[in-house]
Structures are given as C-alpha cells and as structure tokens.
Amino acid sequence: MDYEAALRQGKILMAVKPRTVADANHFEQAWSKDDADLWGRVSE
C-alpha cells in the first residue's frame, strides 16, 4: 500500500530519525509488534 492510500484510510504517517542503530532496532521491533506498516530504513 502506498502512503497516500494509507493516509486516505486513516492511517498515520510518522517519520523518525533515530540517533543510533539500537534506537532504530527498538522502533522497528516495537512497531512491528503493533502490526504497523514499516517502510524500511533509509540508511544506517
């Protein structure tokens, strides 16, 4: 699903810039437990 369609369906788009790789791992793990649609990391 693309982000525009997701927004039209009432989903929330949130961008974060974690300070560390550990923070990125934490967000990815925590949000995937909540059945969030995760759209990959830009860079590490």
pLDDT per position as a tens digit, 20-39: 999 988 888 887 776 666 66
pLDDT of residue 41: 61
Domain that holds residue 18: 14-44
Question: Are the beta carbons of 11 and 37 closer than 8 angstroms?
Answer: yes
pTM of the shown model: 0.55
Residue 37 covered by a domain: yes
* CA angle (17 as vertex; 12, 22 as ends), nearest 5: 110
Residue 31 covered by a domain: yes
State how many domains the chain has.
1
* More confident of the two residues 3 and 10: 10
Residue 7 covered by a domain: no
d(CA 28, CA 38): 7
Q: Report the percent of the chain where pLDDT is more than 70.
A: 73
Residue 21 covered by a domain: yes
pLDDT of residue 43: 55
User: Does the pLDDT of residue 12 top 70, yes or no?
Assistant: yes
Share the mean pLDDT of the chain.
77
